[in-house]
Structure 1
Amino acid sequence: MKTYRLEFTQKLPINLDTAWDFFSSPMNLAEITPQNMAFDVTSPNMASTKMYPGLIITYKVSPLFGIKLSWVTEITHVNDKEYFIDEQRFGPFAFWHHQHHFEKIDGGVLMRDVLHYSIGWGPIGVIANAMIVKNRINEIFKFRYQKVEDLFGRF
């Protein structure tokens, strides 16, 4: 099974507490996800939930072609105001491991996402990644970058 790695960074002109509070809240993910993905958190009572290892979050999402899918992730690791990791337990990928890192820097915060994923499906998955999936993931993170800049300002 071919595994891919993507990394995205962004500097934010906000303090670490503000960055952590926003990005560690499952309810804010919909705000920074393109609307055409129809992203919806379906877990109950997420608005007041603090992130912790073992937290299961359920979503409905349309990543490609408007097809609505269920996605279940588990928060596997949390180091307060430093990083958290979500892993897919059920969903569109054969493997999904997403690290969210936050580092205080002069004038703000450096945010770094490290994503490892696999589509599965052998050679068909390799072709699908090259033609569709990698580009779609990059589009999502490009949208996220711009949305976060709109919310918090340019560094």
Structure 2
Amino acid sequence: MPVYERETVVDAPFEEVWAFHSHHSGLEALTPDWMHLRVETAVGPDGEPDPETLEPGATIESTIAPFGVAPRQRWVSRIVAREEREGTATFSDEMVRGPFPKWVHTHTFEAVDGGAASESSGTSSERSSDGGTRIHDRVEYELPVVRGLLGPLGSIGFEPMFRYRHRKTKELLE
């Protein structure tokens, strides 16, 4: 099965980055406008609407319309794992309905000394004294094939999407 991975360091404290990604509003904030994402519902594992934290069993039902030209596609994800330890955390979501035959996205966060500014320039900033956070995305997937052609999302490619997500995370949290 194909795997896509991308990693970046954000010059923001681990706790702040983890909290941001623990709510469905993080998904909305990090999805490029050209995907035309709408989160229709977010439901916690016990059925509560709009849970504060996405715990295992929570589901997010959204619709997307890439570039606004395709009909809206339904995408339902379920949080299947979540773990937090001192300075590290991870959660995984699995698509249970949507445009891919298989999609498992594992998000990993790790506190690092300094931050992106101190790593790239060798100087420290006010923010980097709090430490930074390494974000690692890993997606296991199968692309849809319709009459020999990739489905609409497969042709877009993951790199622009995840490059945007990581850049936007830095913009919002640094």
Tell me by how many angstroms 1:72 deviates: 0.4
2:159 pairs with one of 117, 138, 143? 138
Q: Deviations over 1:54-85 (max 9, x none)?
A: 11110011236433111100000000251000
SS at match of 1:43: strand
Equivalent residues in 2 for 1:109-120 (5 A)? Answer: 109-120=133-144
SS at match of 1:77: strand
Q: Is the 8 A contact 2:99 2:144 kept in 1?
A: no
* Structure 2 residue ranges without an equivalent (≥5): 43-48, 115-131
Structure 2 CA distance, aligned partners of 1:79 and 1:124? Answer: 39
Q: Deviations over 1:22-58 (max 9, x none)?
A: 0111122111111111111111532x43111111110
1:56 pairs with one of 38, 44, 59? 59
Q: Is the 8 A contact 1:37 1:66 kept in 2?
A: no
Q: Is the 8 A contact 2:7 2:137 kept in 1?
A: yes
Q: Deviations over 1:78-129 (max 9, x none)?
A: 002510000000000000000000111102110100001102438936xx38
Q: CA RMSD in A?
A: 2.2
One-letter amino acid matched to 1:141: F
1:74 is matched with which residue? 78
Q: Is the 8 A contact 1:5 1:117 kept in 2?
A: yes
Tell me by how many angstroms 1:149 deviates: 1.9
Distance 1:146 1:88, change over 3 A: same
2:101 is matched with which residue? 94
1:15 is matched with which residue? 13
Distance 1:122 1:67, change over 3 A: closer
Q: Percent identity?
A: 24
Distance 1:26 1:106, change over 3 A: same
One-letter amino acid matched to 1:72: V
TM-score between both structures, scaled by the size of structure 1: 0.84
Q: Which structure has the larger Rg?
A: 2
One-letter amino acid matched to 2:139: L
Tell me by how many angstroms 1:132 deviates: 6.8
Distance 1:113 1:146, change over 3 A: same
